[in-house]
Structure 1
Amino acid sequence: MMRYLPHWLSCGVLASAGLLGGGLDPALAADLGPPPAPVIEAPAMPSWSYRVTPYGWLTALNGTQTVRGRSVKVNASFADIVEESDTLVALMGDVEARNGPFALMANVVWSKIGVERSNVRSRALAPGVTGSLGTSLGLDIEMAIAEVGAAYEVARFGALAVDVLGGARYWYQEADLSLDVTAAVQVGDLEVAGARAFARSGSVDWLDPLIGARVRYTVAPGHELWLRGDIGGFGVGSDFSWQAIGAYGFELGTYQGITFSGVVGYRALYVDYVQGEGRQRYEFDMLQHGPVIGISAKF
């Protein structure tokens, strides 16, 4: 009778009979084969992603510049600087490599800024410098700023992520201050050309440590808002510095696996740096601020 039963039913009957009889028949167990091995899926390993963003920074300046003991007050908008500068904007490049919650960051800024008479006014002489300052005619600053650092995501609340960050910011500057030559102006340590005397700083550089935080918020798929703030200097390089950046990124499209996004925002960077005394005194106590515009590529 059993030969006419379906195969699965006959196997079940035989198995039940074997169990009731004290065990499964060895020959039948060999026919059924070993049970399938459990499938264990390995967890996905996080991978690196990269974002490269060239920017333009429409810079304005507000503060004090001292070159060879002569100090001037600077108050120049972006439009004032564009009129007199060799470059229309400060050129920036930003790179970030991310792996899960960990990220490495780098940023570079280069600018060559010119500010003329209406936005530069004479202020004071450093202690130990005698004579009068003379009328300020212009200020030219060539500057490079480079940042490197790392960030780590410490909290996430849905679309909102919070990073802490740390690193260093390197500054390089050369500043030329031109003054109107009068009988009362001492020009022994200055370069004179016609009716102008030039105070030239030569190369000045320093390195600031920095710490800060960043907030990233996904507004919608392909749209991200982020805010960053940091402080630095602490008397190691400059006396003190701070930075605040806010930006909004929106996807433009994907080409050959690279996602391109537009970026608009605002950046403000302040530093108070002093070195030397008397005729060797150099001071850059300045706030640089203005809109940023760029395009990022993520891959």
Structure 2
Amino acid sequence: MKPYKLLPITKITALFAALALLGGTTSVVASDKNGWSNQALIYILAPTLDGTSGIGPFDTEVDMDAADVFDALDGAFLGVYRGEGERFGIQLDIVSMDLKMDGEGDRGALAGEVKVEQTTVITTASWRLNKEFRLLGGALFNDLSTGVSLTGPSATRQQSAGDDWVDPIVGVAYETPLGAHWDFSGSALVGGFGVGSESVVVLSGSFAYRFNHWSSLTLGYRYLDFDYEDGEGADRFKFNMKQYGPAVGVRFDF
């Protein structure tokens, strides 16, 4: 059996995983000191990717812009819930995405489809030190699977690959109002520590414009540096990637 071209799989795997792993958004919550405040955020990302993705013995150098991401997008949901009391808070960031792109193998003799499914959940707890700063701690769970199905006049090629892992994460968040309608927030998270990934770094900053007491528009920028590798031989899975780009979302406070 001749091997078919694996470049589309590793390329789209890198694209999808980097996009999905940029959770952990931050923003100012109008907290009632005597109660619990709630916040929901729906957002999209436009990332640039730079790094290496690998499946089995194959490594692919990745250099992709936001247009490549949206060309491959077949369906997605990206959302955040944040709740906070006077001192303690929690945040849940869920990303579910499906990507689809054309693939080929055996020097063009086979053609078909490459699919990627991703679920990422980032859960953090926070402790407010003062009005501006919060300490963060939690975990990042990532489940990624890829599959390819190619057909031709006399042959069919199919392959699937994937991995899931958990990274402990810690960090700090900063937030401050900027006048009557604007606020700024930023966070820095580090994790992995060899438990799941060797290392992961997430930096984010955003401005929010409040239309009224319950809705805001957020505009921000995020950077992720992620170093993960596990398994050997045909079971090897590698994701060593830098991702950076703008983000936009709509926030609801209730």
Counterpart of 1:280 (choices 208, 224, 235) is 235
Give the drift of 1:210.
0.2
Q: Which runs of 5+ in 1 are unaligned?
A: 1-43, 118-133, 179-190
What's 1:78 paired with? 66
Give the drift of 1:115.
6.8
2:51 partner amino acid: G
2:151 partner amino acid: A
What's 2:120 paired with? 145
Counterpart of 1:193 (choices 151, 157, 174) is 151
For the pair shown, the structure with the greater C-alpha radius of gyration is: 1
1:160-199 deviation digits (Å, cap 9, x = unpaired): x0111100000010134x7xxxxxxxxxxxx763399665
1:48 partner amino acid: W
Superposed counterparts of 1:9-48, under 5 Å: 46-48=34-36
What's 1:19 paired with? none
TM-score by length of 1: 0.64
| 1:290 lines up with 2:245 in the alignment | yes
Hey, what's the Cα distance between the residues in 1 that align with 2:35 and 2:179? Answer: 23
What's 1:261 paired with? 216
Runs of 4+ in 1 over 6 A off after TM superposition: none
Counterpart of 2:130 (choices 147, 155, 163) is 155
1:267-296 deviation digits (Å, cap 9, x = unpaired): 222322111111111111123332211111
1:58-111 deviation digits (Å, cap 9, x = unpaired): 233222111122111111101122223324xx6321111111132111111223
What's 2:87 paired with? 101
What's 2:192 paired with? 233
Hey, what's the Cα distance between the residues in 2 that align with 1:197 and 1:74? Answer: 24
Q: How many residues align?
A: 216
What's 1:34 paired with? none
Instruction: Assess, with a 3 A threshold, how the Cα gap between structure 1 residues 192 and 294 changes in structure 2: closer, same or farther.
Output: closer
Hey, what's the Cα distance between the residues in 1 that align with 2:163 and 2:89? Answer: 31
Instruction: Assess, with a 3 A threshold, how the Cα gap between structure 1 residues 74 and 282 changes in structure 2: closer, same or farther.
Output: same
TM-score by length of 2: 0.75
Identity %: 25
C-alpha contact 1:84 1:116 (8 A) present in aligned 2 = no
2:63 partner amino acid: N
2:136 partner amino acid: L
Hey, what's the Cα distance between the residues in 2 that align with 1:59 and 1:196? Answer: 34
The structure showing larger relative contact order (alpha-carbon pairs under 8 Å, at least 6 residues apart) is: 2
Give the drift of 1:231.
0.5
Aligned CA RMSD, in angstroms, stands at 2.8
C-alpha contact 2:33 2:85 (8 A) present in aligned 1 = no
| 1:111 lines up with 2:84 in the alignment | no
Superposed counterparts of 1:194-213, under 5 Å: 194=152, 199-201=159-161, 203-213=162-172
Hey, what's the Cα distance between the residues in 1 that align with 2:220 and 2:196? Answer: 28
Instruction: Assess, with a 3 A threshold, how the Cα gap between structure 1 residues 278 and 197 changes in structure 2: closer, same or farther.
Output: same
